[in-house]
Amino acid sequence: MANRRQFLSAVPALFVALVAPHASAQRRERTDIVVNVAPPPPRRERIPRPRRGYVWAQGYWRWDGRRYVWVPGNWVQARRGYHWTAPRWEERDGRHRFSGGRWERD
């Protein structure tokens, strides 16, 4: 009986651990990434035909802790009164800092 109670009390925490990171990743990529290696040049992407109510979020290079991995572009639902700012890498003093994509007020 005690094992069942422990299991049931752990289920909500497990749910949060699995779902919360996914939900936050859809909103915004981490911004506290700083590396010494410059990212490769952006890839050319074929942008699909416009979709009403959506904006195109261009692809970008993501640092996975050891190397850069390409994240392809995708459509994100438009937000009235906001515009999408694409993720980007900025070089400062020989180090490369990532700024995640985000919505900014018009």
Task: State residue 90's pLDDT score.
Answer: 96
pTM above 0.85, yes or no: no
**What pLDDT sits at residue 95?**
96
Neighbours of 30 (CB within 10 A): 13
Contact indicator for 59, 44 with CB cutoff of 8 Å? no
What is the mean pLDDT of each successive set of 10 residues along the chain, which is 106 residues long? Answer: 55 42 44 91 94 96 96 96 95 95 95
What is the per-residue pLDDT for 32?
Answer: 77
Q: What is the predicted pLDDT for the residue at 28? A: 54
Cβ neighbours, 10 Å, residue 70: 14
> Looking at residue 48, what is its pLDDT?
93
**How far, in Å, CA of 1 to CA of 17, rounded?**
25
